[in-house]
Amino acid sequence: MGEDTLSTLNWLVEAGAGDAIGEVPVNRLAAAPPAPAPMQRPAAPPPRPAAARPTAMPLDSDAIGSAQSAAASATNLIELRAALEAYDGCALKRTATNTVFADGTPAGGILFIGEAPGRDEDRIGKPFVGRAGQLLDKMLLSIGLDRNVNAYITNVINWRPPDNRDPSPEEAAQCLPFLRRHIELADPALIVLLGAVAARHVVGGSEGIMKLRGRWMEYRVGDRMVPLMPTLHPAYLLRQPAHKKLAWRDLQAIRDRMETIGLPRVPMQANT
């Protein structure tokens, strides 16, 4: 080591530089080189579009309007029946065997309206032909009525609900235009509602049938008001035979009103 180098080392020691930090001197006053760019993570792949969910077949949003138009176009009961059988807006029709329109004689002047077809009615295509229908026939005969002579019968709903469940409000709303037109074209002098469902959809309100039964009301048919009475459904009477006495009171009141407005009755000898 030369004398100059030794003098330089002694001078550095005296200046406080006691440790060597590198073999190559570094100029601290020079501009620092740019820092290397940070490593970039590979871009995440774009999200895969969600698989389209299967959608149910859209419902006919104008099913009620279609029913109203179809019903209004009928000018007689034959045309109304054809319009109802051609109507596909109610899902009940897809599971039913037959369209149940009516039975009896509209010229008799008294109209009975029930709830919906059951299994027997769906099979045969007529209202009230099962056990409840057999009881209804006996009830009618007790006050001088016979569906083959002077009584007419239909339902609020024209197709059997699966498992005889209550019809939904939507199903009833799709059938009601046909029922209202049915009443207009049958032009009855007196209307009897059989059971809570018929009462709820024909006269409205939320009162139970036990509060409504036996009370005279009115229903507008064209430009006149027609007397109307709710009473107990024959199927209910089969389950609750003790309430037949209530139904008999209603039937007596119906018979008396028939006499008042001059509706014909079957002679008693025909009831045997």
| Structural domains of the chain ordered from first start | 63-265 (3.40.470.10)
Residue 242 token pair: 């003790």
Residue 37 token pair: 């760019």
Q: What are phi and psi of 250, to 5 degrees?
A: -65, -40
* Alpha carbon distance 238, 10 (integer Å): 125
Place of tokens 């620092």: 32
In angstroms and rounded to an integer, the radius of gyration of the C-alpha atoms of the chain is: 43
Strands 224-231 and 190-194: parallel
- Edge-to-edge strand list for the sheet holding 190-194: 103-104, 152-155, 110-114, 190-194, 224-231, 217-221
Q: What are phi and psi of 103, to 5 degrees?
A: -155, 150
What tens-digit pLDDT sequence spans the chain (272 residues)? 555 555 555 555 555 555 555 555 555 555 555 555 555 555 555 555 544 443 333 445 589 999 999 999 999 999 999 999 999 999 999 999 999 999 999 999 999 999 999 999 999 999 999 999 999 999 999 999 999 999 999 999 999 999 999 899 999 999 999 999 999 999 999 999 999 999 999 998 889 999 999 999 999 999 999 999 999 999 999 999 999 999 999 999 999 999 999 999 988 654 44
* Alpha carbon distance 123, 96 (integer Å): 9
